[in-house]
Amino acid sequence: MTTLMSEAPEIREQDLVPQRPWSKRPTSFWLAALLGTAVPLSFAGVLYFTTEIAAPLLLIVVYLPLQLVSAGVAGYVAKGKHGILDSGLIVFAIGSTILSAVILGSMLATIIARGFEALRPSFIFQNSVYISPSTPLDYGGVGHAIVGTFLIVGIATIISVPLGIASAVYVTEIRGRAVPYVRFFVQAMSGVPSVVAGLFVLTVFILTGVMRQSALAGAIAYAILMLPTVARTAEEVLRLVPEDLRTGALALGSTRSRVVFNVVLPAARTGVITAMLLGVARVVGETAPLLLTALKNDQTVVNPFSDPISALPTFIFDNVAQPYPDAVTRAWGAALVLMVIVAVLFTLTRLLSGRNSMNK
């Protein structure tokens, strides 16, 4: 035994460092990558500053083809024939990411720059009673629209989330004979245009006298749009729960219902919350259903069953087409408020769900 221990190789500290041979690149690779990036960028920059070609046209017609050719040459020098396809894939992947980031950043910057002018306490807490499109920004606000948005989206969430989760549980856990029909129904609903949901509520509930145009009618239209998103996302999340958890709980004598409520759903809590957030994100900016079901109201309405009610999307729709600069600024301010509300709700929900998971 002493002999075996003495013959054991000595473990050095550098041997404990994980080796990553794929991260080691030859100098020719980095040189080719540098040239493949610098050459098209420099050529496009020279054309931009010396000619009158529009920047979008220059980006699509000149820079992108030149970048593909340059990257292909660099890939061939570094890896041979296989590097040509790899370089093209890298160019498209990085280009798409940068383009998406630029579009998103431009949109956020525009909303913040044009909407910040309207932000003030009166704009957040006041309604639009006795306010005309030409009234200065010192008077009136979107307080009534904020209340309406919370009412409509909240009621729609209460309606759609339980139904969507129940649909996902039936498909993944119960697995009855109606599973194909449920999936087909959810898939069909996911392609319904938002205005069709509003027309459905208008013809079935409002024109027949079942209810008036109100926050509840708008919430039903929103729930129709939220349901397929919540159901499909929750179904995919529940499928990720390990089957061993289900079989283990059943082997211990638990009923199917107790397995679902005490094992499966708690294990997929974060994913279910994500499904709810995706459903809210799907409808929070929709305007067409509310124009048919909730209409608008310049007063602050807290009763979701009686009167028409305004929401931030309809407020934006009403003001952005006005020929008065102050009304357009109010629309941009309402868009900024809507964006901030969604960001705050998503952040708080994520933080609370993460904290609950850590405590348990």
- Render pLDDT for 190-224 as a digit per residue (tens, 0 to 9): 888 999 999 999 999 999 989 999 999 999 999 99
Say how far apart CA 335 and CA 316 lie, in whole Å. Answer: 7
Domain 143-359: homologous superfamily in CATH: MetI-like (1.10.3720.10)
Residue 188, pLDDT score: 87
Quick check: 239 pLDDT over 80?
yes
Judged by average pLDDT, the poorest of 8-17, 95-104, 258-267 is 8-17
- In this structure, the dihedral spanned by the alpha carbons of residues 104, 106, 109 and 114, taken in order and rounded to 10 degrees, is -120
Looking at residue 198, its pLDDT comes to 93
Q: How far is 141 from 147, CA to CA, in rounded Å?
A: 12
Residue 115 corresponds to which tokens in the numbers above? 């909407």
Dist CA 114 CA 125 (whole Å):
20
pLDDT at residue 4, rounded to an integer? 46
Q: What is the pLDDT of residues 20-62, one digit of tens each?
A: 554 566 676 677 677 777 888 888 888 888 888 887 788 888 8
Residue type, 236: E
Q: Token pair for residue 80?
A: 């041979």
Q: Where are the alpha helices (DSSP H) in 63-214?
A: 64-79, 82-115, 121-125, 143-169, 179-190, 194-201
The HSE-up count of residue 83 (CA atoms within 13 Å, CB side) is 16
| DSSP SS3 for 129 | coil
Q: Which range, of 52-56, 101-105, 243-247, 342-346, averages the lowest pLDDT?
A: 52-56
- For residue 334, pLDDT beyond 80: yes
Interatomic CA distance for residues 116 and 244, integer angstroms: 53
Contact criterion met (CB below 8 Å) for 294 and 320 = no
Q: Which letter does DSSP use for residue 323 in this model?
A: S
Domain boundaries, the chain: 24-116, 143-359
Helices (H), 13-63: 27-50, 55-57
pLDDT in tens, 113-140: 999 998 888 899 988 888 888 888 888 8
> Of 157 and 79, which is predicted with more confidence?
157
Please give the structure tokens belonging to residue 324.
């008065």
Asked if pLDDT for residue 1 goes beyond 60, the answer is no
Q: For position 291, what pLDDT does the model report? A: 92
Paired tokens of 153: 């989206």
Of 275, 196, 173, 183, residue with least CA distance to 229: 275
**225 and 194 in contact (C-beta within 8 Å)?**
yes
Q: If you average pLDDT over residues 260-277, what whole number do you get?
A: 89
Residue linked to tokens 């005490």 = 262
pTM above 0.95, yes or no: no
Structure token pair of residue 331? 């629309």
Q: At residue 258, does pLDDT exceed 80?
A: yes
Two structure tokens written together for 350: 């994520």
Does residue 184 register a pLDDT over 60? yes
For residue 78, what pLDDT is reported? Answer: 72
Instruction: List the structure tokens of 2.
Output: 């002493």
Mean pLDDT of 274-300: 91
